[in-house]
């Protein structure tokens, strides 16, 4: 009998334990298991109301009954019937201790019930223009010079619909805010000057960016740089040697050479030097170099000996898409080229090993063994130290050129920061907070 | 000794019975907690999956405007950020609600979203993404099922209150409230006849609704039997909605538009008998197509369409029973096709970009047959029109429900 009583006592104890455990192990309400995400609902509602800046206008015109009342109508109409709201507009004062002061609010309930959540949304006054000051490339280190080749005595190719001069002007407008100095190289004579390492306007030629606006053609100065054994290869009747010298200069001065479209360095152009020569397509003042130009340039860039090599390098991957890095930069800098383009002159991945190149920025995603557009940096190893000296930004797209891609690639690679004007400047920004609650059964 | 043994046996029996009982009770509590955790996980997944679909355009980013299948799924409009959805990507989802339509001439099934009698969106199956393919692209095949529904927030209803003179009552309302004092922009298109072919007169105007969100629109020069259509855009405080109304002859001979290529903007116009009815030869249908698009200031603008032929023959030995037209833009708008056959005329509408006619879309599995479904919603804009996106998500791994 005693054992039975003991067991009954044990059962009472376990029952007590179960009741105690059940008391603490309270299962949540069904709405807590799968709650409506009120925070996201509030945020997306604010975004939707501001999709045409109606919210921004109303937040700055709370005394305007039509605007403020219209916002209330839209808010009430857009939320489910079981959702109650409180929308409050705050002024950003930017002063301590009170950073925000309440301007106005609207609500359709006295309290927001047991379950509520809120989202905030910053709106800007339509009367305010925010200034953006870009960081200058080179202001915190070497380089910072941008050379734009606008040689009046050198025609271009594959820039159909534009002239080298118009492209140079657009590039100047787009890129000069980001560089310490922007020099427009007006003739092949001036080009010879910078190839000699001399400044045109007191700038620092070292570590400069050189954009060739002539497309597949490259301006060639008359005289020394066109002479036999320097720019001219008499044994092959070719100016491929000039491209070799260009590669050497790019290495020597740590330049970044930019080819804006097509097959880089495919022609050389100078109306004075080649008045009766044409590029096989009827453009006079130009000589066909072919694939030997790029091969020679890469050999010069990698400090290899010159050889005349006509091996065709590029491939044609077709439609290509901007890389994630380019898309991010596109949004950051506000430069919006079409996200997909056609590439017929994409460089092969093999040049990275053959010429000690690293890709520092993919502008378009690689396709198979081809890279449609990328910034290549040349590696130089001294002892245990590896550094970059010289670079090439090749955009292997088909014509016609889009200089927004030139801009985007350079900005994505150099990454100059943008300093936005103070968003908390008094009277320019307001914060809208939408708090949502649920009514009805659980 | 005997009583002690009996006492022992009773005690052991009672103890074992009590132990089994308590194991069951504790097990029930633990199981309920486990199920709660699984439901909670499904709920979190629903929210994440909805954001994943709405905040990514997919790869390629413009897949909605092409005829190729995406390699990564997303519905965001690639030209915008935030919760702005591509009206073309939504068109390429195979509707899980409408009965598919088979068209003999192209030997294809078409995903069917038909609102009313003469408003069609028919997308060929080879261009419409199927549910299983999307679950694979999202990486949830065999683990979760879902259904996503996008419904317009603003409902614009149109009612003919007087035939002659023609008066139309337009009412705009949101989910829970009328759109008081909304601005109403409308396009009125009246069908006429020019020789054997239909002609049309088109006019545009903007008016304001009253505090109940209603306004009466009076149109002059419309007789009792005239066919017409009214397309309305209502906006207030950032909310934009669309409504439409047609008066057509009750003829069974009309034009049915089939989308043939998103990339080329090609639409096939077929004879209704060739699609729905069949049987002996019927009268030809003469048509006249135009395109109406919503501009950035929320007014409507007409964009004429080049059309080489304006007649669709049915059952007269023709080897091609449809005609092609090409929509010359990838801006969202409405294809308006006026038609006439045996003196019976009417209008057919087709959205180019789902939002132009505020068509709803339902895509995915059947949520009603699931044991436990997590839902979540977001407010989005599709081509400038306010929509609510709702996801229903369920686990395919099963739950051991008790009690």
pLDDT band at A109 (very low <50, low <70, confident <90, very high): confident
CB pairs under 8 A between A and B: 155
Q: In sequence order, what E strands does A32-139 have?
A: 83-92, 100-107, 116-124, 132-134
pLDDT attached to residue B331: 83
**Is residue A7 in some structural domain?**
no
Mutate to test the interface with A, among B182, B239, B241 (most CBs of A within 10 A): B239
Residue of A nearest to B7 (CA): A1
- Secondary-structure percent of chain B, ordered helix, strand, coil, rounded to 5: 20, 45, 35
Averaged pLDDT of chain A: 88
Q: What are phi and psi of A136, to 5 degrees?
A: -85, 130
Residue in B173, B161, B187 with CA at minimum distance from that of residue B241: B173
Q: Tell me if A7 and B176 make a contact (CB, 8 A cut-off).
A: no
**Is residue A27 in some structural domain?**
no
A84, A427 Cβ separation under 8 angstroms: no
Q: Tell me if A33 and B36 make a contact (CB, 8 A cut-off).
A: yes
**Is residue A2 in some structural domain?**
no
Residues A269 and A393 in one domain: yes
Q: Tell me if A40 and B51 make a contact (CB, 8 A cut-off).
A: yes
Q: Tell me if A81 and B238 make a contact (CB, 8 A cut-off).
A: no
CA–CA dist B54, B376 (Å, integer)? 12
Q: Look up the CATH number of the domain holding residue A433.
A: 3.30.1140
**Is residue A9 in some structural domain?**
no
B272, B254 Cβ separation under 8 angstroms: yes
Q: How many CA atoms lie within 13 A of B277 on its CB side?
A: 16
A2 chain-B contacts, CB cut-off 8 A: 7
- What are A172-214's pLDDT values in tens digits? 989 999 999 999 999 999 999 999 999 998 888 999 999 999 9
Residues A311 and A392 in one domain: yes
Alpha-carbon gap: B185 to the closest alpha carbon of chain A (Å): 16
3-state secondary structure of B391: strand
Q: Tell me if B154 and A37 make a contact (CB, 8 A cut-off).
A: no
Residues A285 and A214 in one domain: yes
CA–CA dist B215, B223 (Å, integer)? 21
Residues A315 and A172 in one domain: yes
A85 chain-B contacts, CB cut-off 8 A: none
Alpha-carbon gap: B204 to the closest alpha carbon of chain A (Å): 22
Residues A79 and A193 in one domain: no
Could you give the dihedral angle defined by the CA atoms of residues A245, A246, A249 and A251, in that order, rounded to the nearest 10 degrees?
-110
A410, A209 Cβ separation under 8 angstroms: yes
Residues A372 and A429 in one domain: no
CA–CA dist A164, A155 (Å, integer)? 7
- What are A149-163's pLDDT values in tens digits? 988 888 888 887 777
B339, B255 Cβ separation under 8 angstroms: yes
Instruction: Please tell me which of the candidates A34, A47, A54 has its beta carbon nearest to residue B43.
Output: A34
Omega of the bond leading into B60 within 30 degrees of 0 (cis): yes
Instruction: Please tell me which of the candidates B46, B176, B376 has its beta carbon nearest to residue A81.
Output: B176
Report the share of chain A in percent with pLDDT over 70. Answer: 93
**Is residue A217 in some structural domain?**
yes
Residue of B nearest to A336 (CA): B79
Alpha-carbon gap: A78 to the closest alpha carbon of chain B (Å): 6
- What are A360-401's pLDDT values in tens digits? 999 999 999 999 999 999 999 888 888 999 999 999 998 778
Residues A126 and A179 in one domain: no
Residues A161 and A284 in one domain: yes
pLDDT band at A442 (very low <50, low <70, confident <90, very high): very low
Which residue's structure tokens are 């407010």?
Answer: B379
pLDDT band at A97 (very low <50, low <70, confident <90, very high): low
pTM for the whole thing? 0.66
Bridge partners, A371 (sequence order): A347
For A263, the domain range is: 142-420
Residue of A nearest to B50 (CA): A40
pLDDT attached to residue A27: 66
CA–CA dist A428, A120 (Å, integer)? 16
3-state secondary structure of B378: strand
Which DSSP state fits B262?
Answer: T
Alpha-carbon gap: B12 to the closest alpha carbon of chain A (Å): 8
Residue in A183, A372, A410, A414 with CA at minimum distance from that of residue A261: A372
CA–CA dist B327, B310 (Å, integer)? 15
CA–CA dist B315, B330 (Å, integer)? 34
Residues A310 and A186 in one domain: yes
Residue in A364, A360, A308, A307 with CA at minimum distance from that of residue A340: A364
Residues A75 and A122 in one domain: yes
Q: Tell me if A77 and B15 make a contact (CB, 8 A cut-off).
A: no
A298 has a pLDDT exceeding 90: yes
A97, A427 Cβ separation under 8 angstroms: no
Instruction: Please tell me which of the candidates B14, B60, B84 has its beta carbon nearest to residue A321.
Output: B60
Residue in A120, A128, A106, A129 with CA at minimum distance from that of residue A47: A120
Residues A211 and A112 in one domain: no
Omega of the bond leading into B93 within 30 degrees of 0 (cis): no
CA–CA dist A72, A430 (Å, integer)? 17
Cβ neighbour number for residue B50 with a 10 Å cutoff? 24
CA–CA dist B257, B91 (Å, integer)? 14
Q: Tell me if B40 and A35 make a contact (CB, 8 A cut-off).
A: no
**Is residue A137 in some structural domain?**
no
3-state secondary structure of A302: coil
pLDDT attached to residue B306: 76
B39 chain-A contacts, CB cut-off 8 A: 33-34
Residue in B340, B125, B332 with CA at minimum distance from that of residue B227: B340
Secondary structure (DSSP) of B129-190? BPHHHHHHHHT-TTTEEEEEEEEESSEEEEEEEETTTEEEEEEEE-SSSB-TT-EEEEEEEE
CA–CA dist B161, A115 (Å, integer)? 45
A424 has a pLDDT exceeding 60: no
pLDDT attached to residue B253: 82
Q: Write b or e for each residue in B107-118: b if 16 or more Cβ atoms lie within 10 A of its Cβ, otherwise e.
A: ebbbbbbbbeeb
Please list the pLDDT of chain B residue by residue as tens digits (403 residues).
667 788 888 888 888 888 888 888 888 878 877 888 888 888 888 989 999 899 989 888 889 988 989 998 999 998 887 899 999 999 999 988 888 888 888 888 999 887 877 888 899 999 999 999 999 998 888 889 999 999 999 999 999 998 878 999 999 998 878 899 999 999 888 887 766 677 788 888 899 999 899 999 998 888 887 888 898 999 888 889 999 898 877 777 888 999 999 988 899 998 888 887 666 767 788 888 888 887 776 677 787 777 777 777 776 555 567 888 888 888 888 898 888 887 788 888 899 988 888 899 999 998 888 888 888 899 999 988 999 999 999 988 765 544 3
3-state secondary structure of B235: strand
For B351, the domain range is: 1-403
Residues A276 and A352 in one domain: yes
What's the structural domain count of chain B? Answer: 1
What's the structural domain count of chain A? Answer: 2
B378 chain-A contacts, CB cut-off 8 A: 40-41, 44
Alpha-carbon gap: B261 to the closest alpha carbon of chain A (Å): 19
CA–CA dist B296, A276 (Å, integer)? 53
pLDDT attached to residue A42: 93
Instruction: Please tell me which of the candidates B15, B39, B377 has its beta carbon nearest to residue A34.
Output: B39
A94 has a pLDDT exceeding 70: no
How, if at all, do strands B282-294 and B300-304 pair?
A: antiparallel
pLDDT attached to residue B283: 77
């Amino acid at each position: 009998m005693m054992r039975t009583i003991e067991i009954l006592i044990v059962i009472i104890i376990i029952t007590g334990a179960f009741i105690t455990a059940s008391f603490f192990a309270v299962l949540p309400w069904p709405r807590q298991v799968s709650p409506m995400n009120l925070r996201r609902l509030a945020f997306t509602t604010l975004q939707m109301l501001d999709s045409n800046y109606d919210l921004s206008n109303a937040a700055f015109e709370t005394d305007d009954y039509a605007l403020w009342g219209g916002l209330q109508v839209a808010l009430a109409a857009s939320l489910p019937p079981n959702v109650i709201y409180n929308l409050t507009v705050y002024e950003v004062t930017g002063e301590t201790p009170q950073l925000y002061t309440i301007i106005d609010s609207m609500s359709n309930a006295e309290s927001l019930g047991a379950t509520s959540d809120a989202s905030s949304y910053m709106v800007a006054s339509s009367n305010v223009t925010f200034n953006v000051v870009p960081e200058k490339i080179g202001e915190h280190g070497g380089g910072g010079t941008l050379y734009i080749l606008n040689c009046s005595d050198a025609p271009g190719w594959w820039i159909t619909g534009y002239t080298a001069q118009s492209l140079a002007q657009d590039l100047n407008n787009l890129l000069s805010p980001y560089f310490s100095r922007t020099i427009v190289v007006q003739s092949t004579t001036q080009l010879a000057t910078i190839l000699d390492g001399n400044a045109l306007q007191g700038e620092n030629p070292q570590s400069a960016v050189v954009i060739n606006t002539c497309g597949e053609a490259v301006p060639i100065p008359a005289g020394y740089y066109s002479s036999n054994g320097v720019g001219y290869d008499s044994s092959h009747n070719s100016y491929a040697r000039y491209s070799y010298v260009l590669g050497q200069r790019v290495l020597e001065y740590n330049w970044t050479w930019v080819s804006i479209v097509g097959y880089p360095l495919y022609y050389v152009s100078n109306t004075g030097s080649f008045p009766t020569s044409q590029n096989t397509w009827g453009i006079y003042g130009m000589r066909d170099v072919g694939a030997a130009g790029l091969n020679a340039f890469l050999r010069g860039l990698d400090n290899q000996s010159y050889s005349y090599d006509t091996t065709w390098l590029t491939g044609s991957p077709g439609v290509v898409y901007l890389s994630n890095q380019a898309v991010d930069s596109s949004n950051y800098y506000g430069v919006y080229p079409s996200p997909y383009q056609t590439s017929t002159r994409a460089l092969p991945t093999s040049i990275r090993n053959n010429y000690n190149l690293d890709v520092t920025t993919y502008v378009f995603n690689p396709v198979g063994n081809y890279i449609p557009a990328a910034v290549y940096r040349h590696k130089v190893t001294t002892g245990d130290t590896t550094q970059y000296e010289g670079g090439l930004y090749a955009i292997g797209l088909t014509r016609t050129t889009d200089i927004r891609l030139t801009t985007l690639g350079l900005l994505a690679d150099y990454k100059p920061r943008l300093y936005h004007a103070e968003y908390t400047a008094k009277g320019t920004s307001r914060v809208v907070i939408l708090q949502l609650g649920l009514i009805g059964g659980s | 000794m005997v009583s002690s043994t009996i006492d022992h046996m009773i005690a052991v029996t009672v103890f074992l019975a009590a132990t089994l009982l308590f194991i069951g009770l504790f097990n029930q509590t633990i199981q309920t907690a486990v199920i709660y955790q699984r439901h909670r996980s499904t709920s979190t997944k629903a929210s994440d999956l909805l954001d994943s679909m709405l905040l990514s355009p997919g790869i390629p980013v413009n897949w909605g405007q092409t005829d190729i299948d995406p390699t990564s799924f997303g519905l965001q409009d690639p030209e915008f950020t935030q919760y702005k959805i591509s009206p073309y990507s939504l068109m390429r989802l195979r509707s899980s609600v409408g009965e598919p339509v088979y068209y003999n001439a192209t030997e294809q099934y078409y995903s069917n979203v038909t609102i009313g009698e003469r408003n069609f969106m028919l997308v060929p199956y080879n261009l419409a993404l199927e549910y299983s393919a999307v679950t694979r692209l999202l990486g949830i095949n065999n683990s979760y099922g879902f259904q996503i529904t996008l419904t317009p927030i603003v409902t614009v209803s149109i009612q003919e209150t007087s035939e002659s003179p023609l008066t139309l009552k337009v009412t705009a309302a949101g989910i829970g409230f009328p759109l008081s004092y909304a601005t109403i922009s409308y396009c009125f298109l009246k069908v006429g006849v020019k020789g054997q072919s239909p002609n049309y007169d088109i006019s545009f105007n903007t008016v304001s609704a009253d505090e109940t969100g209603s306004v009466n629109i009076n149109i002059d020069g419309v007789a009792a039997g005239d066919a017409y259509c009214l397309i309305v855009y209502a906006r207030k405080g950032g909310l934009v909605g669309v409504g439409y109304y047609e008066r057509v002859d009750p003829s069974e001979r009309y034009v049915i538009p089939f989308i043939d290529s998103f990339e080329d903007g090609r639409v096939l116009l077929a004879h209704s008998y060739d699609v729905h009815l069949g049987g002996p030869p019927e009268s030809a249908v003469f048509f006249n197509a135009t395109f109406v698009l919503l501009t950035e200031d929320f007014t409507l603008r007409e964009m004429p369409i080049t059309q080489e032929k304006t007649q669709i023959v049915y059952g007269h030995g023709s080897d091609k029973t449809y005609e092609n037209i090409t929509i010359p833009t990838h801006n969202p708008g409405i294809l308006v096709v006026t038609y006439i056959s045996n003196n019976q005329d009417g209008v057919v509408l087709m959205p180019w970009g789902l939002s132009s006619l505020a068509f709803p879309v339902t895509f995915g599995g059947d949520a009603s047959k699931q044991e436990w479904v997590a839902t979540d919603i977001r407010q989005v804009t599709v081509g400038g029109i306010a929509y609510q996106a709702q996801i229903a998500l369920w686990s395919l791994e099963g739950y051991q429900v008790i009690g």
